[in-house]
């Protein structure tokens, strides 16, 4: 292979891919105890976009790092291949979803290979293949038998012209010349007809059965970002309180849910949502109510009085009943008791409707101005009958216990998972509808129910496939029709990480022993937009699988890493924009290095050509160091301070980068690589390099680089004529104890900055000699004593030491200067001196001056007096 002076990953990628494949380096052989490292698999939407590149670059860097550390790593990839985009593309390009999806997979896989992602492709899975989705159907059966499936009416978008249901994404803004009726959400994406809503029978997974467990389980997810567990907590939305029955004249009891039953004496009205039975009944009698209830428009008033009254069960008082839009039909019971004094939304409503605001809670401190806003905190009850004077916390349960009309109740915001999609490109739901028997499960032996051939139609292609829909009832043998709904694609992605364990098994969805051994996934990396749906569904699925006896784990993911968004000009980089930016302009591997170096994985960052250029320069810098070495440079056999410094710095770089990779601070690991590259260049230019030290430096550099730029690292490793492939090389370990490496680095940085300052401030053109004087022993003793002492007694503690006290006034004033909080740990005097001696060549090189490091006893008194631990005195002549 011919090598040029500049690095071009395209010219080497094929060769290294071939070698990697030939040696099966990414294939997991030993399933004994591997680390399971997983990036969220992509939708097959066309091309990889920047979000994918970042996601998989992070995951791949971690997998490579762990593999070099000696772990067996399971790092698979597959395709989330069902879904609407393929159907849309099929329409736009007059093809079919299968062909479109196949072409996307081919393209995306090639892009992944170009990026150098190291996957175990022997485990590749595609969710649109019958040998995958038959298990969705099997799970549906099992869930159905377990009581986790429900069939009931739900509202859907309906195009009256296409006579089909539309997904939310297929309801689009109208063309400029079409005025929509108020209340209409949009038009059909295909025919521009205004969309209506309809109620249809739909299939649900009853995830709400697990609401409480999904909530409490969050407390144990220590490896998940707090932001995600908090979003799930809010999404599940548990509220504890009570249901209270208010008797409405001429109707009967109306149940309200309240989280604050103790404020019942402050209820001044009762409100029901427009969909409540009471509202519907009243609409039949009262035209104004009817108009309010039935309108699709933005309502002009917050609510309307109904003329009815309700009896407050705590006070016996009659209060007015309203129909109010702010009361949501599917939250709680669809009815509330209005306590404007102590609930914000009730306050807003009462103000709008001119209803009385009654104070029944006195804040523990300060006062409440209820004319302005509701007081929603705790306090002492006022004007609350027998409960007056009780604390709100205590009275909350007492009132519920005492009142016959009240029952303790818990409500969740979480809704059941509607899995029905009236689409073609998804898993057929394994149900047939029989006129005699109703919905009947398809027997296991008849699975998989494969999709019929795709036809272009305005509606659901499954409805057109009469050969496919017409069937016989498995129960009575009579005529029946197949269910034409397919499953939400989130079903496919809810268990794919299990299929990777045994992708070829035809008898089971996954090998249960392997699953019990390998789960939970050790590290799962993906975008933060998946905080609720996908990441909640996998938790639900694991529990449901556990309850049907297929899995012993109930939590599927141990550690979750959320990567931030790649922005361009402040906007999210979508596929098309990503391509417009030409991410490969500097080469795919530069892109990869750039997305990793730009920011901490969990942060958003803006795509900037300048920063991409820096990543490119780093690559070239590393390549030319190694290239030049491989071409043959003059080398020496030396063991001076510079060599000792370099050895030490290699250890420090390894220690720092290891910590960084372990905690996903990949951008900082790249900073280490950058820093080491500069140092090696400097060392090379300083003097004829010591052969052993320089080679060790280059080898360490390449091993730190291998997780983030595998082609470059492999190519350079090969130039060094090192053993094996770098992907299979061991991760370096520091040769010496590096506990205090950051202190050593700080010392050197401080001294170099100080010298620069002095040279500049004093206007020294050409310094001849730099003298560094290390502080005397007693100052280290004083410093350590001060660190141990209480802040108030620092001076006396320091001065109580005989070896310090004997330095009189100097000791006293140094002790004074230490009188502050949080003294940083320091190096010992001997370590400090050794480090300065090792680092002196850097100053010599930078200022072209002789550098001398002295002990205080060998130095000028005035200079010695100025020296402090961590801050040697500096003299420049």
Residues binding Zn ion (CB under 5 A): 159, 161-162, 188, 190-191, 193, 434, 436-437, 473, 475-476, 478
Least spacing, CB of residue 195 vs Zn ion, in Å = 8
Question: What are the φ/ψ torsions at residue 169 (nearest 5 degrees)?
Answer: -70, -15
- Rounded least distance, CB 200 to Zn ion, Å: 16
Residue nearer to Zn ion on the CB measure, 431 or 598: 431
Of 187 and 465, CB closest to Zn ion: 187
**Residue 161 or 329 having the CB closest to Zn ion:** 161
Q: Which residues contact 817 (CB under 8 A, 6 or more apart)?
A: none
Least distance in Å: CB of 187 to Zn ion? Answer: 8
C-beta of 434 vs 560, nearer to Zn ion: 434
CB of 600 to Zn ion, least distance (A): 46
Identify which of residues 458 and 638 has a Cβ nearer to Zn ion in the complex.
458
First-to-last C-alpha distance (Å) of the chain: 54
Q: Is 569 left (phi over 0), alpha (psi -120 to 50) or beta?
A: left
Q: Identify which of 341, 336, 340 has the alpha carbon closest to the alpha carbon of residue 379.
A: 341
Least gap, CB of 431 to Zn ion (angstroms) = 12
In contact, 95 and 634? CB cutoff 8 Å: no
Q: For Zn ion, which is the closer residue by CB, 191 or 328?
A: 191
**Residue ranges of the alpha helices (H) in 197-247?**
211-217, 226-236
Q: Which of 483, 373, 372, 499 is nearest to 438 (CA)?
A: 483
Which residue number, 38 or 473, has a Cβ lying nearer to Zn ion?
473
Rounded to a whole number of angstroms, the minimum distance from the CB of residue 181 to Zn ion is: 16
User: Closest Cα partner for 523 from 497, 489, 554?
Assistant: 497
Which one, 291 or 435, has the nearer CB to Zn ion? 435
Please give the full DSSP string across 625-667, using - where no structure is assigned. Answer: HHHHHHH----B---SHHHHHHHHHHHHHHHHHHHHHHTT-HH
In the complex, least distance from residue 173 CB atom to Zn ion, rounded to whole angstroms: 15
Rounded Cα distance, 619 and 815, in Å: 50
CB 623 within 8 A of CB 7: yes
110, HSE (Cβ side, Cα atoms, 13 Å): 8
CB 595 within 8 A of CB 122: no
Give me the least distance between CB of 170 and Zn ion, in Å please: 9
161 vs 845 by CB, closer to Zn ion: 161
**Residue 778 contacts by C-beta under 8 Å, 6 or more apart in sequence?**
803, 804, 806, 807, 811
Residues 401 and 316 sit within 8 Å (Cβ to Cβ): no
Q: How many CB atoms lie within 10 A of CB 784?
A: 17
Provide the angle, in degrees to the nearest 10, between the axes of the packed helices 777-788 and 808-817. Answer: 40
Measured from the CB atom, is 106 or 191 closer to Zn ion?
191
Residue number, 92 or 297, with CB nearest to Zn ion: 92
Shortest Cβ 186–Zn ion spacing (Å): 11
Give 162 or 271: the residue with its C-beta nearer to Zn ion.
162
Given a contact cutoff of 8 angstroms between Cβ atoms, the answer to whether 458 and 122 are in contact is no
Residues contacting 764, CB < 8 A, separation 6+ = 758, 876
Shortest gap between Cβ of 481 and Zn ion (angstroms)? 11
Least distance in angstroms from the C-beta of 201 to Zn ion: 17
Of the pair 162, 839, the CB lying nearest Zn ion is at 162
- Quote the least distance from Cβ 475 to Zn ion, whole Å: 4
Peptide bond into 520 cis (omega under 30): yes
Angle at 365 between CA 364 and CA 366, to 5 degrees: 130
As measured in angstroms, the least distance from the Cβ of 160 to Zn ion is 8
Question: In terms of CB distance, is 434 or 786 closer to Zn ion?
Answer: 434
Nearer to Zn ion by C-beta: 151 or 412? Answer: 151
CB 705 within 8 A of CB 713: yes
Rounded to whole angstroms, the Cα distance separating 582 from 588 reads 10
Instruction: Note the helical H segments in 789-828.
Output: 794-799, 802-805, 808-817
3-state secondary structure of 117: coil
The Cα 327–Cα 845 span in angstroms is 75
CA of 213: how far to CAs of 208, 247, 348, 497, 543, in Å?
10, 35, 35, 22, 9
Least distance (Å) between residue 185 CB and Zn ion: 14
What is the nearest approach in angstroms of Zn ion to the Cβ of residue 294?
A: 25
Name beta bridge partners: 417: 205
Q: Which is nearer to Zn ion, 191 or 580 (CB)?
A: 191
Nearest CA among 336, 337, 357, 362 for reference residue 347: 357
| Shortest distance (Å) from residue 188 CB to Zn ion | 3
438-441 and 431-434 as β-strands: parallel, antiparallel, unpaired? Answer: antiparallel
Distance of closest approach, residue 189 Cβ to Zn ion, in angstroms: 8
Phi/psi for 363 (5° steps) reads -60, 145
Of 651, 650, 655, the C-alpha closest to 676 is: 650
Q: What is the DSSP letter of 299?
A: P
Residue 147 or 478: which CB sits closer to Zn ion?
A: 478
- Comparison of 146 and 475: residue with beta carbon closer to Zn ion: 475
Measured between alpha carbons, how far is 569 from 605 in angstroms, rounded to an integer? 10
In angstroms, rounded to a whole number, what is the distance separating the alpha carbons of residues 180 and 790? 74
Nearest distance from residue 122's CB to Zn ion, in Å? 44
Q: Is the CB of residue 41 less than 8 Å from the CB of residue 80?
A: yes
């Amino acid at each position: 292979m011919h090598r040029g002076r500049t690095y071009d990953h395209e010219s080497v990628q094929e060769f290294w891919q071939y070698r990697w494949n030939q040696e099966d380096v990414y294939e997991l052989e030993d399933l004994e105890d591997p680390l399971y490292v997983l990036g969220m698999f992509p939708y097959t939407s066309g091309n990889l976009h920047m979000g994918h590149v970042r996601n998989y670059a992070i995951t791949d860097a971690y997998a490579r790092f762990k593999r070099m550390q000696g772990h067996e790593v399971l790092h698979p990839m597959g395709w989330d291949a069902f879904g609407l985009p393929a159907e849309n593309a099929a329409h736009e390009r007059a093809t079919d979803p299968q062909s479109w999806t196949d072409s996307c997979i081919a393209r995306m896989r090639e892009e992944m290979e170009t990026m150098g992602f190291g996957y175990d492709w022997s485990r590749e899975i595609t969710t649109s293949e019958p040998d995958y989705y038959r298990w969705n159907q099997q799970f549906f059966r099992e869930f159905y038998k377990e009581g986790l499936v429900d069939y009931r009416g739900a509202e859907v978008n309906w195009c009256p012209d296409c006579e089909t249901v539309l997904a939310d994404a297929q309801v689009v803004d109208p063309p400029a010349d079409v005025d929509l009726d108020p209340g209409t959400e949009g038009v059909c994406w295909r025919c521009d007809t205004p969309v209506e809503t309809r109620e249809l029978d739909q299939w649900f997974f009853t995830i709400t059965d697990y609401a409480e467990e999904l909530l409490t389980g969050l407390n144990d997810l220590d490896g998940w970002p707090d932001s995600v567990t908090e979003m799930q907590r809010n999404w599940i939305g548990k509220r504890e309180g009570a249901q209270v029955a208010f008797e409405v004249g001429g109707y009967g009891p109306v149940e309200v849910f309240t989280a604050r039953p103790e404020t019942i004496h402050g209820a001044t009205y009762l409100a029901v949502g427009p969909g409540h039975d009471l509202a519907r009944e009243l609409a039949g009698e009262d035209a104004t109510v009817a108009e309010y209830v039935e309108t699709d428009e933005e309502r002009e008033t917050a609510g309307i009085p109904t003329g009815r009254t309700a009896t407050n069960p705590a006070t016996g008082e009659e209060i007015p009943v309203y129909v109010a839009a702010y009361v949501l039909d599917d939250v709680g019971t669809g009815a509330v008791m209005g306590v404007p004094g102590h609930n914000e939304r009730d306050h807003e409503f009462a103000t709008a409707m001119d209803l009385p605001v009654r104070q029944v809670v006195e804040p523990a401190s300060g006062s409440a101005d209820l004319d302005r806003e509701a007081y929603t905190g705790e306090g002492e009850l006022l004007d609350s009958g027998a409960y007056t004077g009780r604390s709100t916390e205590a009275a909350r349960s007492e009132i519920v216990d005492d009142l016959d009309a009240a029952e303790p109740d818990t409500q969740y915001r979480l809704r059941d998972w509607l899995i029905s999609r009236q689409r073609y490109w998804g898993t057929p739901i394994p149900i047939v509808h029989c006129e005699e028997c109703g919905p009947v499960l398809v027997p296991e032996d008849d699975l998989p129910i494969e999709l019929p051939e795709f036809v272009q139609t305005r509606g659901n292609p499954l409805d057109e496939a009469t050969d496919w829909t017409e069937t016989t009832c498995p129960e009575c043998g009579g005529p029946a029709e197949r269910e034409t709904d397919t499953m939400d694609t989130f079903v496919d992605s809810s268990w794919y990480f299990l299929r990777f364990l045994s992708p070829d098994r035809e008898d089971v969805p996954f090998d249960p022993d392997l699953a019990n051994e390998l789960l939970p996934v050790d590290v799962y990396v993906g975008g933060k937009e998946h905080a609720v749906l996908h990441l909640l569904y996998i938790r639900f699925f694991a529990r449901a699988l556990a309850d049907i006896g297929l899995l012993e784990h109930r939590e599927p993911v141990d550690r979750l890493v959320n990567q931030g968004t790649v922005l361009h000009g402040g906007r999210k980089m979508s596929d098309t924009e990503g391509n417009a930016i030409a991410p490969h302009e500097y080469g795919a591997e530069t892109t990869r290095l750039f997305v990793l170096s730009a920011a901490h994985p969990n942060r958003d960052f803006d795509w900037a050509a300048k920063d991409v250029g820096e990543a490119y320069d780093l690559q070239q810098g590393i390549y030319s160091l190694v290239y030049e070495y491989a071409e043959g440079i003059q080398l020496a056999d030396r063991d001076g301070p510079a060599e000792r410094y370099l050895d030490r710095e290699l250890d420090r770089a390894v220690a720092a980068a290891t910590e960084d990779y372990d905690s996903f601070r990949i951008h900082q690991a790249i900073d280490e690589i950058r820093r080491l590259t500069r140092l090696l260049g400097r060392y090379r230019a300083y003097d004829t390099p010591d052969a052993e030290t320089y080679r060790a430096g280059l080898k360490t550099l390449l091993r730190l680089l291998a997780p983030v730029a595998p082609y470059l690292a492999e190519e350079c490793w090969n130039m060094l004529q090192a053993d094996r492939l770098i992907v299979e090389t061991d991760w370096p370990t520091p040769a010496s104890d590096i506990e205090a490496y950051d202190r050593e680095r700080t010392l050197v940085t401080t001294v170099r900055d100080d010298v620069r300052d002095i040279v500049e401030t004093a206007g020294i053109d050409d310094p001849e000699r730099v003298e560094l004087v290390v502080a005397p022993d007693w100052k280290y003793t004083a410093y350590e004593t001060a660190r141990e002492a209480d802040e108030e007694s620092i001076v006396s503690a320091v001065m109580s030491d005989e070896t310090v006290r004997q330095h009189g006034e100097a000791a006293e004033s140094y002790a004074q200067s230490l009188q502050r909080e949080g003294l940083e740990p320091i190096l010992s005097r001997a370590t400090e001196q050794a480090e300065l001696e090792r680092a002196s060549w850097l100053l010599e090189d930078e200022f072209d001056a002789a550098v001398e490091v002295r002990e205080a006893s060998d130095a000028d008194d005035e200079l010695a007096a100025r020296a402090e631990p961590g801050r040697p005195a500096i003299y420049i002549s």
